Amino acid sequence: MIALAVAFAVALIATPVAARVASRTGFVDEPGPLKVQQTPVPYLGGVAVFVAFAIPVAFIRPSLLVPLALALLLGLADDARGLPARVRLGAEVAIGLVAGAVASAPGPFGVVVTAVFVVGLVNAINLLDGLDGLASGTALASALGFAIVGGAARGPGFALAGALAGFLVFNRPPARIYLGDAGAYVVGAATAMLAALALGAADGAGAWAAVPLLVALPLVDTTIAVTRRVRAHQPLFIGDRSHVYDQLVDRGLTTGWVTAGFGALQGALTIIGVVTIHLGASWAFASAALVVVALALAATIGGFVSTAKAPTA
């Protein structure tokens, strides 16, 4: 809890500082066809989140900061220049392997598993970061879940939760600062390493079914986005405004309600995951399968996998 309090306090101080620096140096997100804002918004929020997370984690498990610093640098480069997809993917794999070296998942292929987690969640969080407070609020629910699971994930989990909570004070709708690619990459890599550490803290095969529930919404959103783009014969690496959260806004919900709804749903899935992780393997896999089926049915019946084309860039 000390890690949570320290990270929260640092984020409250660092976030407005990052916003001012971003505004003065041109790190701002301009309005556009894929953007929800009407005015430029600074997007060095990832730097503030990294600093807030790093200060307590430096005393808990400093090795975690190495891959996160690399993720931050990659994101800053992407924010500044817009890196080609192949360059980003290669760098993400390299960062994932570094993360695997410092936070290996259990088993003989633990380093590779962590690397897969990193690549998957870095992109999933980045895709989810399309509305004010959406990615940071959803990741906050996940971070608290990993902290509750305990073990080596407890301290870093509380630190990430505190950093995101402090950042959300300024990132909630209407956002005064964005995570940017740098923030999405940091949060995604941190969440991936927490997942690996949580697997090591839990006993039994059931943890492999339960832990994904703690990051279910980013994974579900990414799966739906990929499925929709494949069905519509659209490029996978070109953004659009047809994510689940975009469709909900188009149907009349406000940004605030969508952000709160995603956070609440991820919170519920996190609770299910935390409970499930203590069940036997059979119950854990059955529970996870039931959640997956329910989410898939909701996405299909709700028409969120529509192949209708949306503005791209």
* pLDDT bucket at 311, cuts 50 / 70 / 90: very low
Check residue 238 and give its pLDDT.
Answer: 67
Check residue 40 and give its pLDDT.
Answer: 82
Any domain includes 313: no
Average pLDDT, integer, range 189-202: 92
Any domain includes 284: yes
Any domain includes 59: yes
Any domain includes 209: yes
**8 Å CB contact between 7 and 29:** no
Check residue 30 and give its pLDDT.
Answer: 73
Average pLDDT, integer, range 49-56: 97
Residue 251, domain extent: 2-301
Check residue 150 and give its pLDDT.
Answer: 85
- Whether the per-residue pLDDT at 307 is higher than 60: the answer is no
- Whether the per-residue pLDDT at 197 is higher than 60: the answer is yes
Any domain includes 140: yes
Predicted confidence (pLDDT) per residue in 122-173, tens digit: 999 999 988 999 999 999 999 999 999 988 999 999 999 999 999 999 999 8
Burial call 259-297: b when 16+ CB within 10 Å, e when fewer: bbebbebbbebbbbbbebbebeeeebbebbeebbeebee
Predicted confidence (pLDDT) per residue in 238-256, tens digit: 666 778 898 898 889 999 9
For the entire predicted model, the pTM comes to 0.91
- Whether the per-residue pLDDT at 310 is higher than 50: the answer is no
Any domain includes 306: no
- Cα 274 from Cα 213, distance rounded (Å): 9
Average pLDDT, integer, range 47-58: 97
Number of domains in the chain: 1
- DSSP, collapsed to helix, strand or coil, labels residue 312 as strand
Check residue 201 and give its pLDDT.
Answer: 79
- Whether the per-residue pLDDT at 284 is higher than 90: the answer is no
Which tokens hold the place of 159?
A: 């630190």
Poorest-confidence range of 30-44, 101-115, 208-222, 269-283? Answer: 30-44
**8 Å CB contact between 266 and 142:** yes
Number of other residues whose CB lies within 10 A of the CB of residue 309: 13
* pLDDT bucket at 62, cuts 50 / 70 / 90: very high
Average pLDDT, integer, range 167-192: 94
Poorest-confidence range of 53-57, 116-120, 129-133? Answer: 129-133
Any domain includes 249: yes
Percent of the chain with pLDDT over 70: 93
* pLDDT bucket at 313, cuts 50 / 70 / 90: very low
Poorest-confidence range of 99-108, 172-181, 228-237, 286-295? Answer: 228-237
Which tokens hold the place of 264?
A: 């609440």
Check residue 293 and give its pLDDT.
Answer: 93
Average pLDDT, integer, range 171-177: 91
- Whether the per-residue pLDDT at 207 is higher than 50: the answer is yes
Any domain includes 224: yes
Nearest to 92 by CA among 72, 71, 108, 107: 71
Nearest to 55 by CA among 85, 109, 14, 115: 14
